[in-house]
Amino acid sequence: MIYKLQPLTTLFSNILEQRWPKNFNTKDEKSSSIEGMAADGGQDLITLTTDKLSADRVSESVTCPSCGAVSLFIGTTRDNFEGKKVIRLEYEAYSPMAESELRKICREIRTKWPSVRHINIQHRLGVVPITEASVIIGISSPHRRDSLEAVKYCIDTLKATVPIWKKVSKSLRWDRLKKMCHQKKNSLHFVCVI
């Protein structure tokens, strides 16, 4: 069987058009950031970027004097997938919808854990080499339980609902395509393994 390689946004365009309006732009810019304020003055920071992510910057952005806990999740590119050697990951996003879904996650976090003060979600797009961060989530709260639970909820929900696609390169020659589509209830998350 021969597979024709296409950009993920092209490959899944029919699904996207059924789920979201046609006026959404799927082309990614170098970086896009959204900053919002919660009702209590807390910040919701969302960034999709091709730049290298920094855990220090995320941690600093959610630190505040009234919070005794800053919880971070850092998702990095590992060197293996399904027992095979991985060379790199590459991410594409349907940016407008991804940002909308990330804002929704922030609202849900604030509903479930009202003491959460600041939220920063950064996801890298494009090529992400081995050991570099693909996603960093930082959440602050007065006590550790809320920020730890909120970070876990955030990454689990992001992977289940946010339209970001991951392409895994398992060798220098991209001559074998194994397509895996993970769909959960009301979600859209695809992984293409090359």
Known binding residues are 143-144, 159
Among residues 47, 161, 46, 38, the alpha carbon closest in space to that of 111 is found at 38
Give helix 95-112 / helix 144-161 axis angle, nearest 10°: 150
Q: Are strands 126-129 and 164-169 parallel, antiparallel or unpaired?
A: unpaired
Per the annotation, binding residues for substrate are 143-144, 159
Determine the Cα–Cα distance for residues 78 and 129; give it in Å rounded to an integer.
9
Report CA-CA distances (Å) from 43 to 67, 83, 113, 134, 149. Answer: 13, 40, 14, 22, 18
Rounded Cα distance, 108 and 119, in Å: 12
